[in-house]
Structure 1
Amino acid sequence: MTALARETTGEMMLRRLRSPAAWRETVDIFAILTAASLPWSTSLAGIFNVLMLLCMVPFLDVRTFLQSLKRPICLAPIALVLLALVGTLWSDAAWGARLHAVNPTMKLLVLPVLLYHFERSPRGRWIFVAFLVSCALLSVMSWLVAFYPNLALKTDPAERGIFVKNYIDQSQEFALCAVALAYPIVMLLREKRYWLAGLLTALALGFFVNMTFVVVSRTALVTIPIMFGVFALLHLKGRSIALISAGLLAVAVLAWQASPYLRHTAERFSDDYTRYVEKGEPTSLGLRLEFWRKSLGFFAEAPIKGHGTGSTRGLFERVATPGGLYQASAEVIGNPHNQTLNVAVQWGLIGIAVLYAIWILHLRLFRGDGLANWIGLLVVVQNVFTSLFNSHLFDFHEGWMYVIGVGVAGGMVLRAQQPQAKMGEAGS
């Protein structure tokens, strides 16, 4: 009986190893684990992502996959990676710096893979649920760390309420989740499913309360109203926009009055600017203005193809003025904290054209209605506007948020279009 059971188990394992459906389920599981681990650990997210890609190999239809790569939404990110590789040929940086600068672009190669897989998988929504639940748990942990700082794995006392990573990454996650919930909340209210709508509303408010009283990045403060504006224009009517805008304004005023931390964060904009202009102090805003000013100069020197991959730090070293009156001008960095300038310095107008093609093509992908379209659109909009102040497409955390968000949501959208396309063919 035991031998028979063993034989049966072995046969089942063998059948599962030979089953494309079983491998697809395994890929979905690792995709869920990647999304769930991203708010907590870069290492775990990287490991699960590699396992996900490896599990795709046994059942991959190479011909169909290569055919899918010909779509513009796939070609554009691939083109940026190829440009980074080719750009090493005319850079004067050390080869170690050149190859290191290629690395941030490599994650974009995973995007076409996710588009291909989730065009065929019915489990795309679970990836977003996993990310939302993970961020909700991180929000709870953030409150605990705010009251009990010894629980934090981070040792920086300035980053209050941060258990892992940093306040910029955490704010990006919470802002994306909070605004993304607006769509299902409105849909549930229209269906009169008030309990579930109330639960999601409480969850969204939990993210906003955390950002109001614990910690928030100034980038999130700027981009949240923009994301809400996009939602209002797409999914609300004039009267609803007026009522909700009035409500949000009242909540914002209340939060402003109730949270000294929020006021301090917002007031730092003008304070940082004044200290930079008058004294040349290396404040957060001042350094960005300094980086942008110098980067525009570098771009003007080589406007077509740029200075090459990995050249940015060397260019900043060349124009640094240590020991001068203006301390900000002595700073040397390999990232100008603006995605467009980051690309422009290295690859010129060619790089800018490819970067903007990525954003525009992905925005066009999510023109329709539905949850997947809304999440995908929001991910792109957030990345575009936060990339005014950071190089978020190349940063590890925000870059993977973009790749996973656009890859999974885009695959879901393409999957939803398949029956419509077949119906259209039948009708013609």
Structure 2
Amino acid sequence: MTAETAMWPGPADRHGGHSRWQTWRNPATLIRAADMLAVLIAASLPWSTTAPSIFVGLWLLAVTPTIDWRDYARKLVQPALALPFALMLLALLGTLWSDGAWADRLHAIKPVAKLALVPPLLYHFSRSERGFRVGLAFLASCALLAVYSRIVLLDPAWKLTATASSGVPVKNYIDQSQEFTLCASALALPALNYWRRSKPAATAACLALILLFVTNMAFVAAARTALLCIAVLLALFAWRHLGRRAALVLLAGTVAASALAWTASPYLRQRITDIAVEYRHGHEDINRASTAQRLTYWRKSLHAFAEAPLVGHGTGSIKRQFERAAVGDNALDTEIVSNPHNQALNVAVQWGLLGVVLLYAMWIAHFRLFTGDGIAAWIGLVVVVQNIASSLLNSHLFDFHEGWMYVLGVGVAGGMALKVKARAQS
């Protein structure tokens, strides 16, 4: 055999290579690969920003060849799939009338662009049988983070990144609290179902995980927005899955647990009492101005919205509006930001009433995806309601971490809910 012929595969090698290529082009193989990549997105999200972004790109490469484009186009007329695209299109068009710098316009498209993943996720997981694996991967990853958080609280040298808060190994306490709130709330229905089926071991496992997440927020690191979300989600759980008597028992238990946590946790007491302190002294010390900052941001955003109520000031215009409003004698009045810490105001300043209508229409459409029974419907409902509630005090749909929690949660759980609905109708 010459060197030249050795460079090229023989008939058997060519056949083997062709066979392997055919295997990887097989839609079933690509669907399995897409499922595994979705699992990796969910598992890496609590720990990283880079890894989920890489896995999202690979997921798109894997899932695109498996899409039946005619079927996909027919399903795009459904509001749950169409409205995320509509909001993204508005963001793109909004660059044309924006009064912000072009760098700000282009930067403001990125937070909205992730919504474009909702329709393909819904489509993919309406076919896949592995949706629950994605949820379990996120749950397991968050449980590991909760345990590691306790270690970091005792020894900060174990921190993976230089975070500003004790007991927060990576990212920040807001992201960590939102993760733990989602996991604890999602586990409530499985715990109830196992209890009703007389499965004490499974019930105890669910309750232990709930306790792990809740005590972390009470004693280690908690965002006050997450505490609001917990109250809203408890009320949602009682409304959806409990009778009147059981709801009263839940209410009594919640009050007792809250009182115990208030008594036992100086950290929790400080987080709550700081609200009044931050409001009173916000104009004097910008470092202790969280409450006063939000109120100032909202006032300025409402003024900007009133100037252009129909279509707003355009994509990426928030910073420019705060520059115009930066007048006053203290640091709080002259502070310039690009995030008003309220999702509706974030949208209203940029795209006016048109954007706000699209935002709430999308939330409502996704809420309606999860009006059925079952674990997938409950998880999806928790994801949507948590995002709506937390977006009262933050722009969580556009924030990286909470935004991807929403996109992945709605996409995976929504696809599973659509599959259940399709089977019931067939």
TM-score class normalised by the smaller sequence: over 0.9
Give 1:190 shift. Answer: 0.7
- Please state if 1:309 is matched with 2:354: no
Once residues 11 and 101 of structure 2 are traced to their aligned partners in structure 1, the CA distance between those partners, rounded to angstroms, is 63
Give 1:358 shift. Answer: 0.6
User: TM-score of the superposition, structure 2-length normalised?
Assistant: 0.95
Equivalent position to 1:398, from 378, 398, 402 = 402
Give 1:285 shift. Answer: 0.7
Residue number in structure 2 paired with 1:113: 120
Once residues 278 and 397 of structure 1 are traced to their aligned partners in structure 2, the CA distance between those partners, rounded to angstroms, is 31
Check 1:60–1:279 CA distance in 2 against 1; reply closer, same or farther (3 A cut): closer
Helix, strand or coil: the match of 1:367?
coil
Helix, strand or coil: the match of 1:316?
helix
Residue number in structure 1 paired with 2:248: 242
Helix, strand or coil: the match of 2:252?
helix
Once residues 152 and 215 of structure 1 are traced to their aligned partners in structure 2, the CA distance between those partners, rounded to angstroms, is 14
Residue number in structure 1 paired with 2:5: none
Structure 1 unaligned residues grouped into runs of 5+: 423-428
- Please state if 1:161 is matched with 2:192: no
Helix, strand or coil: the match of 1:327?
coil
Helix, strand or coil: the match of 1:310?
coil
Checking the alignment, whether the CA contact within 8 Å between 2:283 and 2:332 is kept in structure 1 is no
Give a deviation string over 1:74-128, Cα, whole Å, max 9, x none.
1111111000111111112121111111111000000000000000001111100
- Please state if 1:203 is matched with 2:209: yes
Give a deviation string over 1:18-39, Cα, whole Å, max 9, x none.
3211110000000000000000
Give a deviation string over 1:130-151, Cα, whole Å, max 9, x none.
0000000000110111001011
Residue number in structure 1 paired with 2:187: 181
- Please state if 1:262 is matched with 2:301: no
The 10-residue stretch of structure 1 (204-213 or 271-280) with the greater mean CA deviation from structure 2: 271-280
Checking the alignment, whether the CA contact within 8 Å between 1:159 and 1:167 is kept in structure 2 is yes
Give 1:8 shift. Answer: 8.5
Residue number in structure 2 paired with 1:19: 26
Residue number in structure 1 paired with 2:38: 31
Check 1:94–1:186 CA distance in 2 against 1; reply closer, same or farther (3 A cut): same
Once residues 15 and 314 of structure 2 are traced to their aligned partners in structure 1, the CA distance between those partners, rounded to angstroms, is 59
Checking the alignment, whether the CA contact within 8 Å between 1:321 and 1:329 is kept in structure 2 is yes
Check 1:277–1:328 CA distance in 2 against 1; reply closer, same or farther (3 A cut): closer
Once residues 145 and 287 of structure 2 are traced to their aligned partners in structure 1, the CA distance between those partners, rounded to angstroms, is 34
Residue number in structure 2 paired with 1:370: 374
Helix, strand or coil: the match of 2:337?
coil
Give 1:14 shift. Answer: 3.4
Give 1:280 shift. Answer: 8.2
Check 1:193–1:4 CA distance in 2 against 1; reply closer, same or farther (3 A cut): farther
1:48-67 matches, cutoff 5 A: 48-67=55-74
1:57-206 matches, cutoff 5 A: 57-156=64-163, 158-206=164-212
Helix, strand or coil: the match of 1:329?
coil
Once residues 110 and 59 of structure 1 are traced to their aligned partners in structure 2, the CA distance between those partners, rounded to angstroms, is 15
Residue number in structure 2 paired with 1:425: none
Once residues 343 and 415 of structure 1 are traced to their aligned partners in structure 2, the CA distance between those partners, rounded to angstroms, is 32
User: TM-score of the superposition, structure 1-length normalised?
Assistant: 0.94
Give a deviation string over 1:27-72, Cα, whole Å, max 9, x none.
0000000000000011000001110110012222121122221211
**May I ask how many residue pairs the two structures share in their alignment?**
417
Once residues 196 and 31 of structure 1 are traced to their aligned partners in structure 2, the CA distance between those partners, rounded to angstroms, is 26
- Please state if 1:328 is matched with 2:341: no
Once residues 193 and 316 of structure 1 are traced to their aligned partners in structure 2, the CA distance between those partners, rounded to angstroms, is 56
Equivalent position to 1:286, from 266, 289, 292 = 292
The one-letter code sitting in structure 2 at the alignment partner of 1:314 is R
Equivalent position to 1:341, from 345, 360, 365 = 345
Checking the alignment, whether the CA contact within 8 Å between 1:212 and 1:262 is kept in structure 2 is yes
Once residues 79 and 138 of structure 1 are traced to their aligned partners in structure 2, the CA distance between those partners, rounded to angstroms, is 36
The one-letter code sitting in structure 1 at the alignment partner of 2:121 is L
Checking the alignment, whether the CA contact within 8 Å between 2:283 and 2:289 is kept in structure 1 is no
Give 1:243 shift. Answer: 1.3
* Identity within the alignment, %: 50
Give 1:277 shift. Answer: 6.6
Helix, strand or coil: the match of 1:330?
coil
